Amino acid sequence: DLKNPARAIPVGTIYACVFTYFTYNIVSVLVALSCSRDLLHNVYSFMQEINIWSPFVVLGLVTASFSAGLSNLIGATRVLNAVAKDELVGCILHPFKHETAGGNPWPAVLISWLFVQVKSKKCTVDD
């Protein structure tokens, strides 16, 4: 999907890591400068207390979790599709070669979703 993936992926990854590093450090310094030591040591949900509107923190956590789950699901399906196209394990993965016109490997998405559902049904609170 990229014109020059051998260059774009490493450069993009480095830029993302540097941006994230500086963003987290700036937020850490700003929080340390604006909050009391007692609040930082004793209240785990202190971000809700110092935010303009406390539900922003919960919404951010939920959307970040949802985004991470979806990106993992889509990323895994693209890897499964690539392995099937390259026939690395023979023809057993042949059904996962198919893609839509937009390049989305829908059979791989469905089977990955099914695996997640089967695994999540077996998990209990006692696990």
Q: Is the pLDDT confidence value at 83 over 90?
A: no
pLDDT band with cut points at 50, 70 and 90 for residue 120: low
Where does residue 105 rank: exposed (0-12), middle (13-18), buried (19+ CB within 10 A)?
A: buried
Q: Which pLDDT value is given to residue 19?
A: 98
Q: What is the pLDDT of residue 14?
A: 97
pLDDT in tens, 9-58: 999 999 999 999 999 999 999 999 988 999 888 988 888 888 889 899 99
Residue 20 and residue 28: Cα distance in Å, rounded? 12
48 by Cβ neighbours in 10 Å (0-12 / 13-18 / 19+) ranks as middle
With bands split at pLDDT 50, 70 and 90, how would you rate the model's confidence at 77?
A: confident
d(Cα 111, Cα 43) in Å, to the nearest integer? 42
Domain boundaries of the chain, sorted by first residue: 52-122
User: What is this structure's pTM?
Assistant: 0.59
